[in-house]
Amino acid sequence: MPYPDKFYPVVHNVAWVTRLALLGAGTIQLRAKDLNESQALQIVTDALDAIKGTEAKLVVNDYWRAAIVAGAKHLHLGQEDLADADLSEIRKAGLTLGISTHDDEELAIALAAKPDYIALGPIFPTTLKSMRFAPQGIPKITEWKKRIGDIPLVAIGGIKFEQSAEIFAAGADSIAVVSDVTQHADPDARVRQWLGQSAEAA
């Protein structure tokens, strides 16, 4: 299986991780904010337990120490967290590493860390968190993909299923999805839509 999968949901608690894993999502990011070390270790351990027996791969956002201790295999870091992380420890633990980027400087920093994938965002305006960066737009995906070559490119930020074909056509290898699942009126049906699209695009 490619990593990350074409459909890459990002959720904030174990209940969502469980729900997505049972629906057949292949890559699921757990992005829980403002936890202390023991809380982070607990939620990562619980999420890893939740995906046992499924095809899902859990990506831990930011809490790299908890990811190592809990035995996770996949990690995603934002730029601030990347600056504070011990990359040699992360690599020694065998974790894959995805990194967020928003501009040329951040892309250079990310590439220096030899990541397993690069995330570019926000593609569209997003309501979920206040962004320091203006929407990137779809043409930026094509430009970024040319620059990073074989490294998988994940598009994130305000993307809905209806835009997915255009995003993939622009060069994205994967689409990270937040509100289009978690705030959808029928999340399960929406996930099945995304998974069906991903199968067609594979």
User: pLDDT tens digits for 140-197?
Assistant: 999 999 999 999 999 999 999 999 999 999 999 999 999 999 999 999 999 999 999 7
pLDDT at 120 over 90: yes
In 102-196 the beta strands, taken as DSSP E runs, fall at 117-120, 153-156, 174-177
pLDDT at 201 over 60: no
Give CA–CA dist 112/107, Å, rounded.
Answer: 9
DSSP 43-54: HHHHHHHHTTTS
* Domains with residue ranges and CATH for the chain: 7-201 (3.20.20.70)
pLDDT category of residue 129 using cuts at 50, 70 and 90: low
What's the CA dihedral at 51, 180, 4, 84 to 10 degrees? -90
What's the CA dihedral at 100, 106, 111, 114 to 10 degrees? -50
The pLDDT value given to residue 169: 98
Give CA–CA dist 137/88, Å, rounded.
Answer: 34
The pLDDT value given to residue 134: 85
pLDDT, average across residues 63-88: 97
pLDDT at 115 over 70: yes
Q: Percent of the chain at pLDDT above 90?
A: 91
Give CA–CA dist 113/95, Å, rounded.
Answer: 13
Taking the alpha carbons at both ends of the chain, their separation in whole angstroms is 10
The pLDDT value given to residue 91: 97
Q: What is the pLDDT of residues 32-44, one digit of tens each?
A: 999 999 999 999 9
DSSP 20-79: HHHHT-SEEEE---S--HHHHHHHHHHHHHHTTTSS-EEEEES-HHHHHHHT--EEEE-H
